[in-house]
Amino acid sequence: MADVHLGFRQYGLAERAADFCRAFDSAIDYCLTEKPGFVVIAGDLFDAKSIDPQTYAQADAALQRLSQANIPVVANEGNHERWFRRGDHSWLWQLSRHGRLRLLRQFDPITGKPHAGEWTAERGFGAYTDIGSARIFGVEYLGARLPAHIDEIAASLSRIPSPDVRAVIGIMHTGIDEAFEYGSSGLSLEQLQPLESLTNYLALGHLHYAYQLPNDAPWIFNPGALEAHTILEGLTPNLVEGQTRERGIFDVRIHPGKPVSIEAVFRSDVIVRRSFQRLTVDVTEFSSFELLATAVKQSAKEQIGSSDEPAVIELRLTGQLKFDRVQLDQDALQEIVADIHKALHVRVTKHFNSSTSDISLTDATATRQEMERAVVHRLIAASPHAAQGDTLAKATLSLKAAALEGRSPEDMASQLEQLLT
């Protein structure tokens, strides 16, 4: 599993923080039922570097359940929880010192220098750990610096004696270029080749949707986040804007032999999550806010289905706004939808045009994505940065998508760093 994000108070709601804890507990429940040899958490157990006592207690209690069942937990640090100042430790280090998990990282947090030592509870971290006949190595979040260290990590791994090791599992927190629709992560499958011959299974975190790479013979697996970090994540696995992006965990069976065979079964159904729903209203035909509000009320009754608990609802406004944008009372629309469905939270997203001077393409069959891409390219081409047009266009579209999804500034800054490196 990966990207648990304990402590995330989405929309400022304590209920959403409880949802992230509940999703983690449901994953733990599954592990206790299946009794694996060990559990991997590939980064971002916590949503932030600084957490409150309640969040730490939630993590400690959940991990204690696995400890009592003699199921070891191995983890690395993601971009949300890792401290980047030399000498600072993350809360995962504290959990590691207490034996709740085994924290793996390639660089000493005190000296900043590479190390190849085995994990010990006394030190609180290690470059690798052996569990049974499996060797697990881990890499903390390194951002744009990761590609430059792949050869070094592979060389270090190959030097560790391994007489009884029959399978090698890696843990990283990074995206892969081939998994991105727009732009890049700064790390490609080709750059990972030095590790491929040494690794049977590479567990990833960072991107919040599940994927396996390469498609023909996967050895890299990213399960996605447990709970929804954005509206778009909450609406999947339903088809949303042409995407079916699921989130869950991988139940992995490793069959030692020559060669080692891996069986990874994706499970989304075992995770308990809050319901997200979308209500779409085209604003084009309404000449006043009052008419729009009446239509929203009617549409809310027709489009939104029932759920076992209060849902998070997105009110998505599309089309061409015919009245003054200042008259659009977002709070009133939120109240209308929330009152009808007793929603936990209603979020209004505006995807409409508010002027008649919108840029259009000559191709009437162009999709919105194609139009956006063309417009961005056109604007950059007319700027002093035209030489970097392709890179800047990919970065712009990627950040626009991230902003609409409600991603955190930290996520977006990290994404921008990777896109422009």
111-132 tens-digit pLDDT: 888 888 999 999 999 999 999 9
Contact of 352 with 286, CB cutoff 8 Å: no
Are β-strands 276-282 and 312-320 bridged in parallel, bridged antiparallel, or unpaired?
A: parallel
Contact of 233 with 242, CB cutoff 8 Å: no
Kindly state the average pLDDT of the residues 90-94.
Answer: 92
> Out of 5, 80, 229, 345, which one is annotated catalytic?
80
What percentage of the chain exceeds 70 in pLDDT?
89
pLDDT at position 332 over 50: yes
CA–CA separation, 223 and 208 (whole Å): 8
Kindly state the average pLDDT of the residues 216-236.
Answer: 91
Cβ-Cβ contacts under 8 Å for 333 (sequence gap 6 or more): 292, 293, 296, 315, 346, 348
Kindly state the average pLDDT of the residues 21-42.
Answer: 97
Q: Given phi > 0 = left and psi -120 to 50 = alpha, else beta, which region is 170?
A: beta
Q: Which of 37, 20, 28 is nearest to 1 (CA)?
A: 28
pLDDT at position 355 over 70: no
CA 44 from chain center: how many Å?
9
Q: Is the dihedral of CA 416, 418, 420, 421 positive or negative?
A: positive
Q: Which of 391, 401, 390 is nearest to 242 (CA)?
A: 401
pLDDT (0 to 100) of residue 144: 86
pLDDT (0 to 100) of residue 377: 77
pLDDT at position 362 over 60: no
| Strand, helix or coil for residue 252 | strand
CA–CA separation, 228 and 16 (whole Å): 10
pLDDT (0 to 100) of residue 230: 87
Q: Given phi > 0 = left and psi -120 to 50 = alpha, else beta, which region is 191?
A: alpha
Higher pLDDT, 49 or 363: 49
Kindly state the average pLDDT of the residues 345-366.
Answer: 66
pLDDT-derived band at 359, boundaries 50, 70, 90? very low
Please tell me which of 235-249, 326-340, 379-393, 401-415 the model is most confident about, judged by mean pLDDT: 326-340
CA angle 79, 80, 85 (to 5 degrees): 70
pLDDT (0 to 100) of residue 363: 53
pLDDT at position 371 over 80: no
Q: Where are the alpha helices (H) located in 6-111, listed in sequence order?
A: 14-34, 53-68, 91-97
pLDDT-derived band at 307, boundaries 50, 70, 90? confident
pLDDT-derived band at 244, boundaries 50, 70, 90? low
CA–CA separation, 242 and 44 (whole Å): 28
Please tell me which of 152-156, 184-188, 301-305, 338-342 the model is most confident about, judged by mean pLDDT: 152-156
pLDDT (0 to 100) of residue 256: 82
pLDDT at position 237 over 90: no
pLDDT at position 101 over 80: yes
Contact of 175 with 207, CB cutoff 8 Å: yes
Average confidence score pLDDT of the chain:
88
Tokens 């079964």 label which residue? 265
Is 80 considered catalytic here?
yes
pLDDT in tens, 179-193: 876 656 678 999 999
pLDDT (0 to 100) of residue 352: 86
DSSP 159-195: HS--TT--EEEEEEE---GGG-SSS--S--TGGGHHH
pLDDT (0 to 100) of residue 316: 93
pLDDT (0 to 100) of residue 356: 42
CA–CA separation, 394 and 182 (whole Å): 6
**What element of type H or E holds 352?**
strand 345-353
Lookup: tokens for 175: 């995206």
pLDDT in tens, 246-255: 899 999 998 8
Straight-line distance from the first to the last Cα atom of the chain, in angstroms, rounded to the nearest whole number = 28
pLDDT-derived band at 409, boundaries 50, 70, 90? confident
Contact of 186 with 144, CB cutoff 8 Å: yes
CA–CA separation, 286 and 420 (whole Å): 42
CA–CA separation, 67 and 354 (whole Å): 56
